[in-house]
Amino acid sequence: MTNTRKSTATDTATETTTDTAPAEENKAVVGPPLRHGQAPEEVTFAHHLRISGRDYGPGQKAYVSPDYARQLRGNGYIARGRA
């Protein structure tokens, strides 16, 4: 009995497609992870805050999930934006 091996065209069939993700999704998010379909928000801290073992001082910026930004805004940790 002989084994016959069929060659497949995997070398020519594998095309590398580069999916270009929006720049917002490539930014490092601190705090709770983003949910599906959410875009990170850039926030400026008004007070000292430690998130995931890293210290953020007043005036520093970071990207957080919209839910976490809402929570921090309600607690007064995010600086008011200028109009």
The answer on pLDDT for 24 being more than 50 is no
pLDDT band at 79 (very low <50, low <70, confident <90, very high): confident
Answer whether residue 80 is part of any domain: yes
Answer whether residue 2 is part of any domain: no
Answer whether residue 71 is part of any domain: yes
Number of domains comprising the chain: 1
Q: How far apart are CA 8 and CA 26, in angstroms?
A: 36
56, 62 Cβ separation under 8 angstroms: yes
The answer on pLDDT for 9 being more than 70 is no
Answer whether residue 20 is part of any domain: no
Structure token digits, residue 60:
């520093």
Three-point CA angle 76, 26, 36, nearest 5°: 70
Q: How far apart are CA 44 and CA 62, in angstroms?
A: 7
Question: 55: domain range?
Answer: 27-83
Answer whether residue 10 is part of any domain: no
Answer whether residue 22 is part of any domain: no
The answer on pLDDT for 69 being more than 80 is yes
| Stronger pLDDT, 3 or 68, i.e. the higher one | 68
Burial per residue of 60-72, b for 16 or more beta-carbon CB atoms within 10 angstroms, e otherwise: eebbbbeebbeeb
Answer whether residue 18 is part of any domain: no
Q: How much is the pTM?
A: 0.64
Mean pLDDT of 36-53: 94
Answer whether residue 55 is part of any domain: yes
